[in-house]
Amino acid sequence: MHKSEADTGPKPTEEHLPIVVLGASAGGLEALKAFFSGAPDKAGCIYLVITHHKSEKQSMLPELLARSSGKRAVEIADGMAPEPDCIYTNPATECFITLEGGKFRLLSAREASTYTPQLDKYGNSLMKVYHPIDFTFQQLAQEVGGRLTGIVLSGSGSDGAIGLRAVKGQDGMIMVQQPESAEFSGMPDNAIATGLADFILSPEDMGAQLASYLRHRKTLSLGKGGEELISADQLRQICELLRERVGHDFLSYKPNTMKRRVAKRMALHRLRKASDYLEYLYHNEDEANHLFRDMLIRVTEFFRDPGLWDYCRNDLFPEVLQQHDYSDGFRVWVAGCSTGDEAYSIAILLNEVLRENNLTMRVHIFASDLDAEAISIARRGEYPAGIVNEVPEPLLSRYFSYSEDRYKIHKSVREQIIFAPHNVIKDPPFTNMDLISCRNLLIYLNQDLQADLISLFHMSLRNKGTLVLGPSESVGETSTAFKTVNSKWKVFRRNPDIFSERVPMQYFHGGRRTDRSLYHAQATAQPRLSDQPPIAEKVLKLLAKKFAPGALVISERGDIFYLHGDAGKFLEPAEGKPRYNIFEMGRGDLPRELPAMMHSAASSEGRIVEKKFKIDPSGDSHVLVGVEKLQAPESMRGLFLIFFHDIETTSTSPTVTAEAGESQDEDEPASQVFALERDLEKSRASYRALLEQVEDQNAELRSAVEELQSTNEELQSSNEELETSKEETQSLYEELSTINSELVEKVNSLSDANNDMANLLNSTAMAILYLDNELKLKRFTQKAKDIVAVRESDEGRPIGELAIHLKGEQFIEDARSVLSTLRGIEKEVRTNQGGWYLMKLLPYRTRDNVVDGLICTFVDINEVKRSKRSESHFRELLWQLPRPFLLVDSTGVVVQITVAMAKALQLDGQSVEGMRLTDAVREPQSSDGIEQCLKAIFEGRQKTLQLAVQPIRTNSSAEASTLQLEIRKLPVASSESELAWVGLL
């Protein structure tokens, strides 16, 4: 349920952040990227992106928007607090977003349905279509008010069009993408058709316009209603300019409401002073129309305030429809109907009540509004597909037809309603109404004008007629003209015991009401008799009295509005309380004859109907009575002019042919009477024969109609199935389009990543081959050409068909072995040119741990081989030295030994290398003497030590001799550990 402007909802303040909601669907990714490319880096607002994509996988939209915009972009989580200059996207799952307590909340379709009006009688969840953009617009408009900016971008369908009403109703700003720049123009076209857009721009231009608007909006302090910006005198001047340009006066509107509208227009045009806006308004004629449309907020929807419609359908309408015999039909006036949603809601429920109670009655609904553009929308009776979330399914299928993403009201309902531009303040009201609905119009007007309109409605209603007002409106606490029927839903009934003084016609003349309601018109008003010289007025009155006949101006129900001349002699007061009605006050045959003449005049398109009959039963004189239904001036359209001519004073015959059946003079010949009777009998016989033929034809027509109805029902069923299939196809197409856009971005990202990987691998100077499960070449690095004779065009060829430059190696067999055993192979290989490589063959595993081929790496080890050869030569040279000594590291392990030392220790060749020194010799005195000596040497406590040891004989059984060892630390250490020299003394 939307809040009215009278509700004390949250008002925007400077400390609150503006929120920009961007709605997009199919083709919207490019539009979003274009928008953020032109958006400022620091606008101080929150960006909320709502799209239609639905997927079980994580959406890539935040990543894509972050990359293209340079802003932080995240997917909304329930309870997340928004931050300025950050982009938030709706999750890929089907959910709805609102803002509560400054934090985002995610709602399921069931939860969201509690936020949307619905009729309790049918109990249907109204979230029947996924319109998250409409929902977000409506909910955030209530939550943040004028801080909201709604933007509709590329997409098919009509999502967003209905939600824009709520944005406009809270003084929010609206921008729509130019249809010609959109990949899919459905959503922009429907949004533009509402007439609510402030700007229609390409996405690239929206960012700059948005930044300017937000900057000026903050400067203008829109959150305070604009009171500090615009003085009362400036507001009066603006109203005068509006009246001159568009012909409507807004001085009786509430000042704060007008000031907020003007302040918003100032922000849109980047104006900071009211005087500057006055100057702009004076020189720009189109601005007056834009301001006029902003004043007329189209905050309406089908079955708005569902509790009221439950009450109307179940209680109010059945009671009033069965209360009286409405011979001329049930008459309804919907004042301020906007785009017709409420008028159609009333018509639908009245038809439902008539159908369910088996009542037959004509329904006449007069729907009026000041906004001619809104009236044209109402006359078409076409609405966006989003109304399925407002209208219950039974009523939607019964009274609407669906085509091209729009619902159209059935012709039978449209024909019950007459839509007309009408200014309820200055134009004559509709009369003889049984029901008047004027909801959320009075809240915009000051109290004096509200009282005037309440009196006007009392005059327009029949006895015990019903008045329905908005939830924040009332007839006034001291008013006795209406009795309260339902205080909760503001339903009132006309009090027939209160006399309502009929408003004279000059009350509406010249476009102005009483002095208290509107300021006086200036040069544009038409001159009236009161403005002419006194002598002219006297002459006109004299001529009218001398030559003009007595006359009356009455309404359709006979209420007398005006008397002229001696018309009073044809009237006489009835007994009891006086009633100014010609059917109650007319003399003689006047009350009996006049209704038929009025009916004839109403159907004769302005022709004057005349008839002579007796007015005074006691006399013999006849009076010629003429009746004309007035078509002009506009203010008197629909009234009847009755004039009287005495026959004795009329010298000429009537200029207009009298009606058939006119009474004849008493002295007509009897033969003429007999002839007329014979003609009448013949006419009756012909009529009876014709009636029988008509009845036969009607029977045939009824049979044909039944067949057509059956055929129509079948076609309707087929059409509904086709429309359902079309909707599903359209929804699928939108999802595929969105997925395709994301895939394009992903392919581009993967292409960039592939280039990065190729450059990285080539920079490592490693030979790498990627093979599939059939040993076909998938990818390779440039260095791999040293191993395999391969070119770019060889990708996809079996590796066995290519020349492999490895000497004596079974590369193919090794590759197949790895694929079959899933065990890697690592070994050194040599090329035909003599180069050495460390070959590793490993299974290629995907992220899902699936083996999808081989990865073969070849590391160049030529330098390692050369180093090993050098080390081998050095060790061989050291081994052949004649002096007995060995080298140990800090752990006591023998690193190198000479032949002479091996013989002295009675060891077998170089097998001692890698042994601990304590395993080769022993010290008789203590078991740890060697370790203590080595520790002292390496810690620097001793420079040289001498130690007596005995060799552990490994090749002889003879007694070991005692050897004297000298230990000293070498000044140069290896890369791994320090070394000590151990020699014989």
Which residues does the annotation mark as catalytic?
Answer: 25, 52, 159
Are the CB atoms for 511 and 247 separated by under 8 Å?
yes
SS3 446: coil
3-state secondary structure 56-107: CCCCCHHHHHHHHHCCEEEECCCCCCCCCCEEEECCCCCCEEEEECCEEEEE
Burial class (CB in 10 A: 0-12, 13-18, 19+), 461: buried
CA distance 983 to 965: 6
The candidate with the shortest Cα–Cα distance to 361, out of 418, 398, 399, 321, is: 321
CA distance 930 to 913: 17
Are the CB atoms for 50 and 132 separated by under 8 Å?
yes
Return the biggest CA–CA distance within the chain: 184
DSSP per-residue codes, 404-416: TTEEEE-HHHHTT
Q: Which residue has the tokens 């002009």?
A: 632
CA distance 947 to 982: 10
The candidate with the shortest Cα–Cα distance to 365, out of 430, 305, 426, is: 430
Q: Across-strand partners of 150?
A: 21, 174
Strands in 921-922's sheet, in edge-to-edge order, are: 894-897, 885-889, 979-984, 963-969, 944-951, 921-922
Handedness of CA 235, 240, 243, 244 (dihedral sign): negative
Q: Are strands 461-469 and 491-494 parallel, antiparallel or unpaired?
A: antiparallel
CA distance 157 to 230: 41
Count the Cβ atoms, other than its own, within 10 Å of residue 780. Answer: 23
Are the CB atoms for 246 and 292 separated by under 8 Å?
yes
The candidate with the shortest Cα–Cα distance to 310, out of 121, 114, 113, 490, is: 121
Q: In sequence order, what are the residues at sequence separation of 6 or more whose Cβ sits closer than 8 angstroms to the Cβ of residue 674?
A: none
Q: In sequence order, what are the residues at sequence separation of 6 or more whose Cβ sits closer than 8 angstroms to the Cβ of residue 336?
A: 368, 369, 370, 424, 438, 439, 440, 441
Are the CB atoms for 822 and 814 separated by under 8 Å?
no
Within a 13 Å sphere around the CA of 294, how many CA atoms are in the beta-carbon half? 25
Count the Cβ atoms, other than its own, within 10 Å of residue 560. Answer: 19
CA distance 603 to 606: 8
CA distance 180 to 836: 65
Q: What would the two tokens of residue 277 be?
A: 């806006």
Q: What would the two tokens of residue 88 be?
A: 């938030």
Task: Give, for 736, the enclosing helix (H) or strand (E).
Answer: helix 670-763
SS3 150: strand
SS3 697: helix
Angle, in degrees to the nearest 10, between helices 255-268 and 203-219: 130
Q: What would the two tokens of residue 736 be?
A: 């595929």
Dump strand ranges (E) for 734-819. Answer: 767-771, 777-780
Before 633, cis peptide (omega within 30)? Answer: yes
CA distance 38 to 623: 82
Q: In sequence order, what are the residues at sequence separation of 6 or more whose Cβ sits closer than 8 angstroms to the Cβ of residue 800?
A: 775, 812
**Cα angle at 182 between 128 and 409, to 5 degrees?**
40
